[in-house]
Structure 1
Amino acid sequence: MRAITWHGKNDMRCDTVPDPKIEDGRDAIIKVSSCAICGSDLHIMDGMIPGMERGDIVGHECMGEVVEVGKDNKKLKVGDRVVIPFTISCGECFFCQKGFFSGCERSNRNAKTAEKLWGHSPAGLFGYSHILGGYAGGQAEYVRVPYADVGHIKVPDGMTDEQALFLSDIFPTGYMGAEFCNIQGGETIAIWGCGPVGQMAIRSAFLLGAERVIAIDTVPERLAMARAAGAITLDFHDVDVYDAIQELTKGRGADACIDAVGTEADGTASFDSVIDRIKVATFMGTDRPHVLRQAIHCCRNFGVVSIIGVYGGLLDKIPFGSAINRGLTFRMAQTPVQHYMPILLERIQKGEIDPSFVITHTASLEEGPDLYKTFRDKKDGCIKVVLKP
């Protein structure tokens, strides 16, 4: 089969690789009808994610048709059309039973490695390094799905791939980021990053009752998409973000701040971001948390900082004194997608949101490596890429 594979920093390829096979009775094999390039995939391309090996199949947003089912899987049958959550979860362990599917105790085949890095292991993920299980990803013609009897969601008749696909990751992630903000109605929510996850967070914040959303980015197409959703937009190259939010909130600060950027924050005009870049380049640091620092400073007293951007290691110079002295609450997680999928499917069916609004490019797998670069370099108005194997 054909699949997108990683061969080192900035080296993504469309290769011919072996077809997946059933390895466990609860498995299923999915013929992929649609998959997508996620912003967190760019961290892999940029060499920011440890534990990658040359030839690894990438991708964790996918859906398609069941073509083979393991003998113990009673929930799926050949011909079912399903969306696959990016978190791999057994459905039976302590965390899965509590709905914390991204903390699954069984699905990471390399849990001991993750424990050395983070203290405890999260769930295994599709296409996202051997630290998180080394599972082949979904940017491929076929994908093996472990524990396929847990968490998948069947796509209703009449719903397009484009409407359903993002239930696999970016819609639940953006919605979770907004839900973390404890929106009761009438709040001002500031969101850093107007990429695909940020766009979902903007719309989710409004769905949950926010009165105002302030969206921060610098890419014109992303800012235009945010304005189309009703957000107030700030270009961080043109304004001082802290001063602008202070003015908009009469000096109080945003009720909650969402970091939808993560480890590779731009922040080119800031001194702290320059230092971050030097540390990463000289292997003295692992992440560039400029946005997180700014979100803390822009959040009102006793507000919430919601973190949904990807971070991988240790963060420097976080203003924790500001957070503790002003009573901030931090909420963050790899998204327990299985928890959110049915909730958000219902919202789509009711017509409250159509997640396909974010798609700007549709292409074949063979065009995928070039579109990784287009997406990363923010060219051609690229906000979200969907691939059709």
Structure 2
Amino acid sequence: MRATTYRGPYKVRVENKPIPAIEHPNDAIIKVSLAAICGSDLHLYHGMMPDTRVGHTFGHEFVGTVHEVGPSVQNLRPGDRVMVPFNIFCGSCYYCARGLYSNCHNVNAGATAAGAIYGYSHTCGGYDGGQAEFVRVPFADVGPSIIPEWMDEEDALLLTDAVATGYFGAQLGSIVEGDTVIVFGAGAVGLFAAQSAWLMGAGRVIVVDHLEYRLEKARTLAHAETYNFTEYRDIVVEMKRTTDHLGADVAIDAVGAEADGHFIQHVTSAKFKLQGGSPIALNWAIDSVRKGGTISVMGAYGPVQTSIKFGDALNKGLTIRGNQCPVKRQWPRLFEHVRNGYLTPSEIITHRIPLEHIAEGYHTFSGKLDGCIKPIVLPGAS
């Protein structure tokens, strides 16, 4: 098969790899029809994620058709059209029994924190991802779901991570009717978080970013107020000013550690990996919410993070909540929102890239070129 492979920082290429085989009776092999490049994939692409090995296939957002199933699989059969959450989970451990699928205890041996994610380095289990023609899906009876007949395949693709994560970010904010919500970051997840905040009763939604084309999308897609932080001496002061000098009720960090790493890296040429990423957006969130407010963290951070204003968060009495999204837990609500027309996920797609051109796709997305917000990958195109 043809598959994306990592060759080192800023280097991916498409190569021939063996079609994955059934390794366990509960496995399924999926023929990928659509995949996507996620903003968090840029941490891998830039060489910022620990233990990203040469030859690894990226891609944790994908949908496709069941090609083969193991002898123990009961819920799927060849030919079924399925969507696969980015989390790999067993469905039966302590955490899965409580719906915390992203914290599954049985899929990433030896990890103290990270769960398992398709195509996200050996830190997250070493499972190859879906930016390929075929992918192996473990625990096939508990992860994938058959795509409803009425659902567009591109909408289903975005529900495997971006929409679910944005919705989860708003959910973690414990938004109540009339709340003012600030979303830091107008990438795909931030835009969906802004949309979701309205669904949860927000009275005002503000999106902060520095790229005008993304802020325009926030205005048209999420109907949010927008602020370009490069236009203000101090964006926190502006956020306080526009909220009667109290601060917002909820702030959602949809940025995380910058995918280029901490500024010290550029000074010393040292590789601090993702744990050295600068938490600017998180500190802005801490400073921008009112006392007693809530911060939801959806951006990607490494295990060690420096320079977070935890003392300020403590003294302000803030609630900080975060996790990798347990995707499948969000699907029943999201299916209804899509079916009722409250969400049309595919509106966020800006680029459709043949698999063979994925190196150019990563370059475009990484460089914020050509108005790129959400690129999807077409394995069958050339």
Q: TM-score, normalised by structure 1?
A: 0.93
Question: 1:178 — aligned with what?
Answer: 170
Cα pair 1:287 1:313 within 8 Å, conserved: no
User: 1:318 and 1:277, CA in 2 relative to 1: closer, same or farther beyond 3 A?
Assistant: farther
Aligned equivalents of 1:36 and 1:370: distance in 2?
14
Percent of pairs with identical residues = 46
Aligned to 2:147: 155
Deviations 1:231-250 (A, max 9, x none): 11110111121121111100
CA separation of 1:7/1:291 partners in 2, compared to 1, >3 Å: closer, same or farther? same
CA spacing shift, 1:328–1:265, aligned 2, 3 Å:
farther
TM-superposed CA distance for 1:281, in Å, is 3.9
Give the distance between the partners of 1:279 and 1:231, measured in 2 at CA: 39
Deviation at 1:211, TM superposition (A): 1.1
3-state SS of paired residue (2:53): coil
1:322 aligned to 2:316? no
Q: Which residue of 1 aligns with 2:336?
A: 346
Give yes or no for contact 2:263–2:278 (8 Å, CA) kept in 1. Answer: no
Partner SS for 1:215: strand
State the Cα RMSD in Å. Answer: 1.7
Is there any run of 5+ residues in structure 2 with no aligned partner, and where? none
- Offset of residue 12 of structure 1: 0.9
Q: Establish whether residue 139 from structure 1 lines up as the match of residue 131 from structure 2.
A: yes
Q: For each residue in 1:267-301, what CA deviation from the matched residue of structure 2 results, as whole angstroms up to 9, or x when unmatched? A: 9xxxxx74575478464962211111111011110
Query: In structure 2, what residue type is equivalent to 1:149?
Result: D
Any gaps of 5 or more consecutive residues in structure 1? 115-119, 268-272
Equivalence for 1:231: 224
CA contact (8 A) 1:89 1:151 kept: yes
Q: In structure 2, do the counterparts of structure 1 residues 49 and 22 end up closer, same or farther at CA, with 3 Å as the change threshold?
A: same
The answer to whether 1:261 aligns with 2:245 is no
Q: Between Structure 1 and Structure 2, how many residues are aligned?
A: 376
Alignment of 1:167-246 (within 5 A): 167-228=159-220, 229-239=222-232, 240-246=234-240
Give the Cα separation in 1 of the matches to 2:212 and 2:378. Answer: 27
* Structure 1 residue matching 2:195: 3-state secondary structure: helix
Q: Secondary structure at the match of 1:50?
A: coil
Report Cα offsets for 1:20-43 as digits up to 9, x if no partner.
111111111111010000000001
Contact 2:265 2:271 in 1 (8 A): no
What is the distance in 2 between the residues matched to 1:156 and 1:207? 22
Deviation per CA, 1:24-66, whole angstroms, max 9, x where unpaired?
A: 1111111101000000000100111001110101100000111
In structure 1, distance between residues paired with 2:45 and 2:66: 29
CA offsets, 1:161-186, max 9 Å, x none?
11111111111100010011111111
**8 Å contact kept, 2:29–2:136:** yes
| Aligned with residue 382 of structure 1, among 372, 376, 379 | 372
Q: CA, structure 1 residues 28+263, in 2 after alignment: closer, same or farther (shift >3 Å)?
A: same
Do the aligned partners of residues 381 and 334 (structure 1) sit closer, same or farther apart at CA in structure 2, a change above 3 Å counting? Answer: same
Quote the residue 2:95 is aligned against.
95
Whichever residue aligns with residue 20 of structure 1, its letter is: P
SS of equivalent residue, structure 1 residue 340: helix
Cα distance in 1, alignment partners of residues 126 and 73 from structure 2: 22
**Partners of 2:179 and 2:159 in 1: how far apart?**
26
Is 1:252 the counterpart of 2:242? The answer is: no
